[in-house]
Amino acid sequence: MDTLSLTPSSRGKLGRWLLGIFIATGAWLFAYSQLTAFADWLLNALAMSRQTQVGEALHFFFYDTPKVLLLLTGIVFVMGIVQTFFSPERTRALLSGKREGIGNVLAATLGIVTPFCSCSAVPLFIGFLSAGVPLGVTFSFLISAPMVNEVALVLLFGMFGWKVAALYLGLGLLVAIVGGMVIGKLHMERHLEDWVQKIQAGEVGQAAHDGMAWVERFEAGTAHVREIVGKVWPYILAGIALGAGIHGYVPEDFMASIMGRDAWWAVPVAVLLGVPMYTNAAGVIPIVEALIGKGAALGTVLAFMMSVIALSAPEMIILRKALKPRLIATFVGIVAAGILLVGYVFNLVL
C-alpha cells in the first residue's frame, strides 16, 4: 500500500509502529550481546562460582534461557510478517515436488552458516513450519544447523586437519539432506501438533494479502509471537533446565575406555551416551580432543559429538510442543542411523 495514500491517523500509527520496532530491535541486540555478562552477574549475585558443578549448571541456564527466548521471539515475529506475503499454499508450491530436493540442500546449507546449538535452532525450525515450508525441508535445517556449522568445522580443522573437517562436512550434510528427504517422503504432517497444523493450513493468523497495510503486517507478527511463544516457552524452560543439570558432567575416562576402534558396539554406545547430554559444537569439541588424546577412535568420538549436538534430550523436550511423539521418534531414528554411518565410515577410512 502506498504510504502517501494513508490518512494522517494511519501514518501516525505506522510511525509509532516503526519507532517501536526500531527501539525493540536495539533492545534485542543489546540484550543478546549481554547474555554472558547477564549470566555472570546473576551467578555473582548468588555468590557462586563457575568452577563448581552447580555454578556451571546455573550459569548455563542463566545464559541459554534468555538466548533461546530472544531468538524465538525475534524469528517468530519476522516469520509472522513474512507469512502475510506468502501464504502456506504458495510457499509449499515453491518448495514442493521437483524443488523439494533443492529445498533440502538449501536448508542444510543454511544450517552451516547458522551457529546454533540444537535448542537455538528450534525457533527457526518452528518459524519455517509456520510459514508453510515443507516438513522434510525444515528437518534438513534442524539436523544441519547444530551439527554442521562453521564453529564445528573451524575447530575440527584446527585440531585434526582439513581432511577430517571436509569429511565431516560432507557426511554431515549428507545426513541432513537425506534425513530431511526421507521424513518428507513419509508425509508425516499429521504428526505435527494440532496448533502447528492450523498455522500451516492458514487457520491461525492473517491471511496473505498483497494490499495489506504494514501496520496489519506488524500486528500479524505480534499475534504470531503471542500464539507460538505463548505455547512453547514452558517447554523451553524445561529443556534448558535439563540441559543445565547435565552440563559439565562428562566422565571422560569412562567414555574413552569404551570408545575403542575394535569394538563394533562402541559407535552405537557412544551415540546413546551423547543423547542425554547437551552442549553446542564449541563446548563439545574440547571433550572430543580430550577423548582422542586418551585413545578413543575418531569416528566413535565424532558419532558421540554428533549425537550430543543434534539429538539432545533438551531439544526433544522443546520439539515435543510442536511435534507428536511418532514424528520425534522417526526424526531420532533417521538421524541416529546417519550418525552411526558417519562413525563407522570415519573408523574405516582413518
Distance separating alpha carbons of residues 273 and 347, to the nearest angstrom: 18
Domain membership of residue 177 (yes or no) is yes
Domain membership of residue 90 (yes or no) is yes
Domain membership of residue 245 (yes or no) is yes
**CB-based contacts of 349, cutoff 8 Å, min separation 6:** 167
Mean pLDDT of all residues in 216-245 = 77
Distance separating alpha carbons of residues 294 and 297, to the nearest angstrom: 9
Mean pLDDT of all residues in 242-263 = 65
**Mean per-residue pLDDT of the chain:** 77
Angle between helices 162-185 and 100-112 (to 10 degrees): 140
CA dihedral 59, 139, 145, 67 (to 10 degrees): -30
pLDDT for residue 37: 94
Distance separating alpha carbons of residues 81 and 53, to the nearest angstrom: 42
Distance separating alpha carbons of residues 211 and 131, to the nearest angstrom: 19
Domain membership of residue 4 (yes or no) is no
Domain membership of residue 134 (yes or no) is yes
Q: Which residue has the higher pLDDT, 178 or 68?
A: 178
Distance separating alpha carbons of residues 6 and 115, to the nearest angstrom: 41
Phi and psi at residue 192, to the nearest 5°: -75, 150
Distance separating alpha carbons of residues 208 and 194, to the nearest angstrom: 21
Question: Which has the minimum average pLDDT: 38-47, 111-120, 202-211, 310-319?
Answer: 202-211
Task: Dump pLDDT digits (tens) for 94-153.
Answer: 544 445 678 888 888 877 766 556 566 677 777 777 767 788 888 888 888 777 766 567
Q: Which domain holds residue 237?
A: 34-349
pTM, full prediction: 0.63
Q: How many domains does the chain have?
A: 1
Q: Quickly list DSSP for 157-190.
A: HHHH-HHHHHHHHHHHHHHHHHHHHHHHHTT-GG
321: amino acid identity, one letter: K
Q: Report the 3 state secondary structure along 48-61.
A: CCCCCHHHHHHHHH
Domain membership of residue 3 (yes or no) is no
Domain membership of residue 99 (yes or no) is yes
Grid coordinates representing 297?
577412535
Which band of pLDDT confidence, cut at 50, 70 and 90, is reported for residue 80?
confident
At 131 the three-state DSSP class reads coil
Q: Which residue has the higher pLDDT, 21 or 251?
A: 21
Distance separating alpha carbons of residues 48 and 44, to the nearest angstrom: 6
Query: What do you get for the CA distance between the two ends of the chain, in Å?
Result: 60
Distance separating alpha carbons of residues 45 and 89, to the nearest angstrom: 51
Q: Are 238 and 317 in contact (CB under 8 A)?
A: yes
53: amino acid identity, one letter: Q
